[in-house]
Structure 1
Amino acid sequence: MEFKKPRGTRDFLFEDMEERKYVENTIRTVVENYGFKEIKTPIFEDLELFTAKSGDGVKEEIYHFQDKGGRDLALRPELTASVSRLYDNNLQKSAKPLKMYYFGSCFRYERPQAGRYRQFWQFGIEVIGGTPIYNEAEIVAMANEALSKLNIKNYEFAIGHLGIIKGVLNHLHISSEIQTQIIASIDKEDYELLDNLLDDCNVSEEYKSIITSIINVNGTLEDLINIKSLVKDIEDSLNAVENLEEILKTIEAFGFTDYTVKLSIARGLDYYTGLVFEIYVPDLGAEKQITGGGTYNLTSLFDSEEVESTGFAFGFDRIMEAFHRQNIQIPASSTPKVLVIPVKKEFKLEAIRIAQELRKENIITDIDLKGKKLKKNLSYANNHNINKVIMIGQQEVENNTLTVKDMESGEQSTIPQTEVIETILN
């Protein structure tokens, strides 16, 4: 019987994993330089954790099941809810801010297509508590720095603030249920639906015009400042504009200025309360969004105290797709790789001893214990990017020497065994 991988999943081979590990480690280095520490949560959680956050409708989009004890569980479709649960269980009394990151696979039951898989990976960042404006600016700057370090090209960074549009809707006394529908219509850019919803709420042409002007802002900090006059009589909206203005000025203090103020970003989820942002790579076409995040409050799902959080998640697979579309090459590794070849089978034990000496010095070392011909071993070394080959024959054993071949230059020399570590590292 032939078994194939499940629909919507992928196998990753050696080169795939080398690239993915490079991208993962590059992002890790950036976020750890900002003081973030790694956490892990279970791959499955109580189903109710996700339905409480997203409603019962989410069941159609996720893998959920009953275990042998009759408990309703689900494979995590994303990680934000799990992180909030982790905070509620373990970290409520910890000193703030809590700066954490996570990397792991998620699962959604949806039709597989380009850029969408049933198993996918997220690299997420969360900061809980602390000084909101500083947290928000730092997170935006950090996301930009990670993409810059990866050499992703032509990405677009759009920043908005949900408090501006929500301030208008609150001013008009629109119910939270209808507000959710309005925000969703803006998120989907379904402006016909938006107009119908505003008509149903008897919103005047004056306020329709204000809402339209807000969601049409797609430019600079100056464009944001220009709408102050529109919302001067709507206190919550004016406060949100001024809040975003301060956040953007703080972001620029971090050295990041190449962003767009886009007030139509809505994220489509109820729990976002303030800053929202998205990052797009146009080269990816319809699946161009690689990151989304903002400021939110999920602690209301639990009995914990209300605390503001800011976070985002990189769609790791889409970053990898951008890597390939833009033909980005990972840097050549400077770590030496060695292949030890015993010329005859009676020299295998000596080859093992030499290999172990190299490994103790953290030198990546392979060894031919199959007894392949020298030509095949050299071909193997070339195919696996091995820098140096060590050959052990009768003469080397008798003289306590080793023959070392540099696979790049082709040069070959015989050295005392005592100098092997120095020779390989230099």
Structure 2
Amino acid sequence: MNDYMEQLKTQVPAGAWDYLPAECAAKRKVEDEIRDSFLKNGYSEIETPSFEYYEVFMHDSVPYVQENMMKFFDQKGRILALRPDLTGPIARAAATKLLIRQDVLRLCYIQNAFGFFNRGIAGKTEFTQAGVELIGKQGADADAEVIALAIGTLRKIGLEGFKIELGQVAYFKGLIEGSGLDEEQTERIRALVDAKNNVELEYELSRLNMEGPKKQALLELGSLFGGREALVKAEMLAKSEECRRAVENIREVFDILCGFGYEEYLSIDFGILNNFNYYSGIIFRGISDGIGTPILSGGRYDELLSEFGTDAPATGFAMGIKELLVVLERQGKLVSTSEKTMVVLAPREMLGQAFAYVQELRKQGKRVVLELNGSSYDPAKFEVVDFQRRIK
């Protein structure tokens, strides 16, 4: 075995992490608080396999790039893929197993996903996502429900200084409608708007011979952000019925969330256009001080379930657990259990009594180790109890 292979034995693959005990405890605490928030809002937890048939992820309604997925073969030569996110597998399960029994599903999850992605924490290949899917319910109230849940959950885990940016992909679709652009040209314009690169955008629009009000509206799309004033400006630029419906939808969602008392956490941005083909309406993402990448993203995806044989509207979001941990740590809010483990030292001739004592402590919720060989423990790190002295 050469030196390079020997080195690999002591490392983890790029984009993966070891969570050591203190880190793992902090991660579990955050996950438990998130799960509690989801469950108390009426969502039921679901688990899907870590891998699916490759075909689950290969259609127009999902934003996966083939080269980014981790793929392998089963014994019959069929291509399998580690899930790149949870929405696709949950949509499969909902369409084929759950919607036949009820019309509206509220599902949640905390599971790992895999892939070679640059989004989120750079270079990650295995990552934990926590999220919800509200399936079978259309309308602004459903969109507002999941966004309110996202805000409430971030508050519950102690996060500060975050904003939820609201966008509407139908507005862009309405602006570009009738322009004569093909799919590749539309994607180029979308990417420039999403990146807020107006210099390149103006050059590209001129190169495509797009002039007049449509060009001006697209150039102003990246500046349509802020509070209610962004809605007023977007309405003025709206020339099609699709654009006007998009503005009205985001206004209704915004008003509901303000009614919940969440206005301070909201910002409107019509220039959010990531995963353009995947989302069908409202789109949103969470940003926070202390990290240069979104901590959550979501939106409405009404076309996805039809890929699995059932037409049903759907909306939801996913949070990146690693991103949340980074922000919480930088804000000084990341804590693990402060309870010391108790170590009960006992001689072997008293093991029966000592074991009964330890079991009683464990029933009371304490963390207890029964030590029979007399090993020494640092009292700064452990609560050490001499059982023999205790019963005298």
Give TM-score, length-normalised by structure 2: 0.89
Structure 2: unaligned runs, 5 residues or longer:
1-5
| 1:239 equivalent in alignment to 2:245 | yes
| 1:293 equivalent in alignment to 2:298 | yes
1:132 to 128, 139, 147: 139
Name the SS for the 1:284 alignment partner.
coil
**What is the aligned partner in structure 2 of residue 256 from structure 1?**
262
C-alpha separation in 2, matches of 1:194 and 1:96? 43
How far did residue 275 of structure 1 move?
0.7
More off after superposition, 168-177 vs 143-152: 168-177
Report if aligned partners of 1:161, 1:244 keep a CA contact under 8 Å in 2. yes
Name the SS for the 1:41 alignment partner.
coil
Name the SS for the 2:252 alignment partner.
helix
Report if aligned partners of 1:77, 1:107 keep a CA contact under 8 Å in 2. yes
**What is the aligned partner in structure 1 of residue 224 from structure 2?**
217
In the TM superposition, what are the counterparts of 1:318-333 in structure 2 within 5 Å?
318-330=323-335
State the percentage of identical aligned residues.
26
How far did residue 162 of structure 1 move?
1.2
2:38 to 31, 43, 49: 31
In the TM superposition, what are the counterparts of 1:272-351 in structure 2 within 5 Å?
272-285=279-292, 288-299=293-304, 302-330=307-335, 338-342=342-346, 344-351=347-354
C-alpha separation in 1, matches of 2:251 and 2:223? 17
How far did residue 112 of structure 1 move?
11
How far did residue 111 of structure 1 move?
7.5
Assess, with a 3 A threshold, how the Cα gap between structure 1 residues 136 and 56 changes in structure 2: closer, same or farther.
closer
C-alpha separation in 1, matches of 2:361 and 2:308? 55
**What is the aligned partner in structure 2 of residue 406 from structure 1?**
none
Report if aligned partners of 1:284, 1:325 keep a CA contact under 8 Å in 2. no
Paired residue type of 2:70: Y
Q: CA RMSD in A?
A: 2.7
More off after superposition, 61-70 vs 50-59: 50-59
More off after superposition, 51-60 vs 262-271: 51-60
C-alpha separation in 1, matches of 2:259 and 2:121? 38
C-alpha separation in 2, matches of 1:298 and 1:27? 28
**What is the aligned partner in structure 1 of residue 175 from structure 2?**
168
C-alpha separation in 1, matches of 2:120 and 2:101? 42
Report if aligned partners of 1:293, 1:311 keep a CA contact under 8 Å in 2. yes
Report if aligned partners of 2:96, 2:308 keep a CA contact under 8 Å in 1. no
Q: Residue deviations 1:13-55, cap 9 Å, x none?
A: 1101110011101111111121111111111111122232478
C-alpha separation in 1, matches of 2:321 and 2:140? 26
Report if aligned partners of 2:95, 2:305 keep a CA contact under 8 Å in 1. no
In the TM superposition, what are the counterparts of 1:19-418 in structure 2 within 5 Å?
19-53=26-60, 58-109=65-116, 115-172=122-179, 174-175=181-182, 178-199=185-206, 201-231=208-238, 233-258=239-264, 259-285=266-292, 288-299=293-304, 302-330=307-335, 338-342=342-346, 344-372=347-375, 376-377=376-377, 379=378, 382-384=380-382, 386=383, 389-393=384-388, 401=391
C-alpha separation in 2, matches of 1:205 and 1:331? 58
Paired residue type of 1:345: R
How far did residue 60 of structure 1 move?
1.6
Larger radius of gyration: 1
Q: Residue deviations 1:177-233, cap 9 Å, x none?
A: 5434432332233434533553455432221112223331111023212332221x4
**What is the aligned partner in structure 1 of residue 19 from structure 2?**
12
C-alpha separation in 2, matches of 1:66 and 1:145? 41
Give TM-score, length-normalised by structure 1: 0.82
Report if aligned partners of 2:168, 2:246 keep a CA contact under 8 Å in 1. yes
Paired residue type of 2:355: I
Name the SS for the 1:158 alignment partner.
strand
Structure 1: unaligned runs, 5 residues or longer:
403-426
Assess, with a 3 A threshold, how the Cα gap between structure 1 residues 292 and 321 changes in structure 2: closer, same or farther.
same
Q: Residue deviations 1:262-311, cap 9 Å, x none?
A: 111112330211111111123123xx211111111243652523222111
C-alpha separation in 1, matches of 2:173 and 2:188? 12
Report if aligned partners of 1:7, 1:112 keep a CA contact under 8 Å in 2. no
Report if aligned partners of 1:336, 1:363 keep a CA contact under 8 Å in 2. no
Report if aligned partners of 2:194, 2:222 keep a CA contact under 8 Å in 1. no
Report if aligned partners of 1:187, 1:268 keep a CA contact under 8 Å in 2. no
C-alpha separation in 1, matches of 2:200 and 2:56? 30
Q: Residue deviations 1:326-378, cap 9 Å, x none?
A: 22242756x78543221x33222321121123334443322112222xxx33x
Paired residue type of 1:312: F
Q: Which structure 1 residue ranges, 4+ long, deviate > 6 Å from structure 2?
A: 54-57
